[in-house]
Structure 1
């Protein structure tokens, strides 16, 4: 792995586990075993530029994963269930849902930095677009699909946050039971 990729991958994990403000540059340098010069060579504008790069990388990875899940299932209901099952499995296996959520970063940085807010917003928009497109193929109007996609995104993201704070998979399991009924209602 090249130095830039190592810095991005390691920093992404640190930011997700501890939040942006709790991770200092010295911790990143130590975890990556790189010099300050190496970090600034790749990220001349420092830690915030690194965070935005991490968010863009997460965006691609999460979007690709969700697209693959949704392409592999005929209905939104089946795809959503498969995605939630994967999240539950990750939480039960790894004790976290690191690859899918960055709500701690959103909550601490979205009002402080416009570029960070935009990077976070782009991920949620991509997720909603995937849900919306699937719903439209099932005959939902654009308006209904868009509203349902927003509800799905908020419900799943909220459940992931609750799972992490409660150290339990129950919020995702509850959403997995309730979302199919909500999808029928629209």
Structure 2
């Protein structure tokens, strides 16, 4: 792994575990075993530029994973259940869901810059577009699909935060049963 990729990988994990404000440049330097000069060589605008790059990396990993899952199943209900089952399995195996959420970073967003907020917003929009596309294939109107996609995103993100907070996969298990039923009723 080259230096830049290593910095992105390590910093992404740190940001997800501790949030943007909870991670100092010196901690990133120590964890990556690099100099300040090396960090600024790859990220001339510093920590914020690194954060945006980390978010873009998360974006690609999460959306690719969701797309693969949603293409494997005929209906949104089936795809959603499979995706949530994967999250539950990851949590129960690793005790965290660090690679699948950026909520810890987003929670600090109000005090962050517009470019960071836009990057986070774009990621949520991409995730919701995957859901919308599948819901439209299931026969929902575009407007209804957009509303349901927002609810799915909020439910999953909220469940992930509750799993991490309560140290249990139960919130994801609950929504894995509730969300498909909501789709049947819509």
TM-score between the two structures when normalised by the length of structure 2: 0.98
Query: Could you tell me whether the CA contact under 8 Å between 1:106 and 1:120 is conserved in 2?
Result: yes
Cα 1:183–1:111 shift into 2, 3 Å: farther
Give the CA deviation at 1:110. Answer: 3.9
- The equivalent residue for 2:104 is 104
In the alignment, is residue 52 of structure 1 matched against residue 52 of structure 2? yes
Secondary structure of residue in 1 paired with 2:99: coil
d(CA) in 2 for partners of 1:112, 1:26: 19
CA contact (8 A) 1:29 1:36 kept: yes
Query: Residue 179 in 1 paired to residue 179 in 2?
Result: yes
Deviation at 1:109, TM superposition (A): 2.5
Which residue in 2 is equivalent to 1:34? Answer: 34
- 1:49-128 matched pairs, under 5 angstroms: 49-128=49-128
Matched position secondary structure for 1:162: helix
Shift of 1:113: 1.3
User: 1:102, CA displacement in angstroms?
Assistant: 1.2
Alpha-carbon deviation of 1:185?
Answer: 1.7
Q: Distance in 2 between matches of 1:176 and 1:30?
A: 40
- State the Cα RMSD in Å: 0.8
In the alignment, structure 2 segments of 5+ residues that lack a partner are: none
Contact 1:110 1:116 in 2 (8 A): no
Please give the alpha-carbon distance, in whole angstroms, between the structure 1 residues aligned to 2:107 and 2:4: 26
Gaps of 5+ in 1: none
- 1:75-134 CA distances to partner (integer Å, 9 max, x unpaired)? 100100000000001100001000111111111124431111111111110110000000
Matches within 5 A, 1:134-173: 134-173=134-173
Distance across 1 between alignment mates of 2:111 and 2:27: 24
Q: Take 1:14 and 1:110, find their aligned partners in 2: how far apart are those partners?
A: 20
Task: State the TM-score, normalized to the length of structure 1.
Answer: 0.98
Give the equivalent residue in structure 2 for 1:16: 16
2:7 aligns with: 7
Shift >2 Å, 4+ stretches = 109-112
Measured after TM superposition, the shift of residue 145 of structure 1 is 0.6
How many pairs were matched up?
Answer: 186
